[in-house]
Amino acid sequence: MLGLQNLPASVLQAGAIFLSIVIEALPFVLIGSLISGFIEVYVTPDRVHQALPQNRFLRILFGTFIGFIFPSCECGIVPIVNRLLEKKVPTYTAIPFLATAPVINPIVLFATFTAFGNSIKFALYRALGSILVALVLGLFLGFIRTDSIVKETAIPLHEHHFSHLTGWKKVGQALVQSIDEFFDTGRYLIFGCLFASLVQVYIPTSILTKIGHNPITAILLMMLLAFLLSLCSEADAFIGSSLLATFGFAPVMAFLVIGPMIDIKNLIMMKHSFKTSFILQFISIISVVIVLYCLVLGGI
C-alpha cells in the first residue's frame, strides 16, 4: 500500500482508467469468443454458403444488416469476424458486419437515443453513417480488392471437423475453442487498453478542443478523440452528448460513427490477423467516408 501511495497521481489515474476499460471490455470479448467457439464447432462452411445470398451485392447487404439481429460490441467483434472468414465467408460480407454490428444493434441504438435526451435523430444518423461506411467497404472488397486480407500465419492449416461429436461433447469442444480464442484475443486487448489509458492521461483533451474551430478540423479532432478514448459502443454516446455543446452536431456524429469501427484495442487485435495493407485501407476508407458524411450533415 505504501508503494502505491508513493506513485505519481498520473500513474494511479492511468491504472484506474486501464482497469475500467479492461473491466468494461472483457465481458464483450468473452461473449465474442463464446460465439466464435460455437461457430467453429456448429457452423460448417457448407451451412454458411447455404445461408448466404448468391448475388455478390446482396451478400454485401447481408453482412451490413445482419448485425441488427446478430449484434456484438466492438470489443468482441474481431474474433467473430476471424472465425467467419475461416469458414469461407467472403470478405465483402464479413467486413461490413464488423463495421455495423457494434452500431446498429438495438442496445447501442437505444443507448444513443437515451443519451441525447430521447432524440431519435442521433440514433438514426449514427445508424445511417455506419451503414454507408459498411456499404463502401463491401463494394471495395467485392469489386476492387479481391485478394486475401488475412495474414497467411493467421489461416488454420487444416479445417477442424466436429461432426462426429454429439451432445455435451460438442458443447465441451465449443467451450474449449472459446477459451483458446479468449486468451488469444485477450492479450492483444490488454495491450490496447494499456495504450488507450496512457493516451487519456498524458494527452490533455483541452489541447484538442482549442484547435477545433472550423468544421473539418472539429470533425477530424472528434474522430481522433474517439480513437484515443477507445470507448465501448454501449457507453460512448453518453460521452458524445457531453461534447455536443462544445463541438456541435456533425463532429459529435463523427465521434459516434467512427468510435466502434476504429479504436486502439480493435486495431491491435486486427493487426494479429489482418494484413497491414488492408488495415491501412480500412482506416482510410472509413475516415474519408465519415468526414464526407459529417460535412454533409453539417450543411443540412
What pLDDT, on the 0 to 100 scale, is given for residue 241? 79
With b for 16 or more beta-carbon neighbours within 10 A and e for fewer, the 187-221 pattern comes to ebbbebbbbbbbbbbeeeeeebbeebeebeebbbb
Could you give the percent of the chain with pLDDT greater than 70?
Answer: 76
Over residues 195-249, the pLDDT tens digits come to: 667 766 776 666 666 665 678 888 998 898 888 877 777 667 777 777 777 778 9
Is the pLDDT assigned to residue 256 strictly greater than 90?
yes
Residue 189: all three cell numbers together = 486487448
Is the pLDDT assigned to residue 159 strictly greater than 50?
no
Q: Are 197 and 14 in contact (CB under 8 A)?
A: yes
Residue 20: all three cell numbers together = 475500467
Over residues 112-125, the pLDDT tens digits come to: 888 888 889 999 99
What pLDDT, on the 0 to 100 scale, is given for residue 73? 65
With b for 16 or more beta-carbon neighbours within 10 A and e for fewer, the 94-112 pattern comes to bbbbbbbbbbbbeebbebb
The span from the CA of 283 to the CA of 267, in Å, is 9
Burial of residue 156 (number of CB atoms within 10 Å: 0-12, 13-18, 19+): exposed
What pLDDT, on the 0 to 100 scale, is given for residue 100? 92
pLDDT greater at residue 160 or residue 272:
272
Q: Are 102 and 131 in contact (CB under 8 A)?
A: no
Q: What's phi and psi for 234, nearest 5 deg?
A: -75, -15
* Average pLDDT score over the chain: 80
Is the pLDDT assigned to residue 57 strictly greater than 90?
yes
What pLDDT, on the 0 to 100 scale, is given for residue 64? 92
Q: What's phi and psi for 150, nearest 5 deg?
A: -100, 140
H, E, C per residue of 99-164: HHHHHHCHHHHHHHHHHCCCCHHHHHHHHHHHHHHHHHHHHHHHHCCCCCCECHHHCCCCCCCCCC
What pLDDT, on the 0 to 100 scale, is given for residue 158? 42
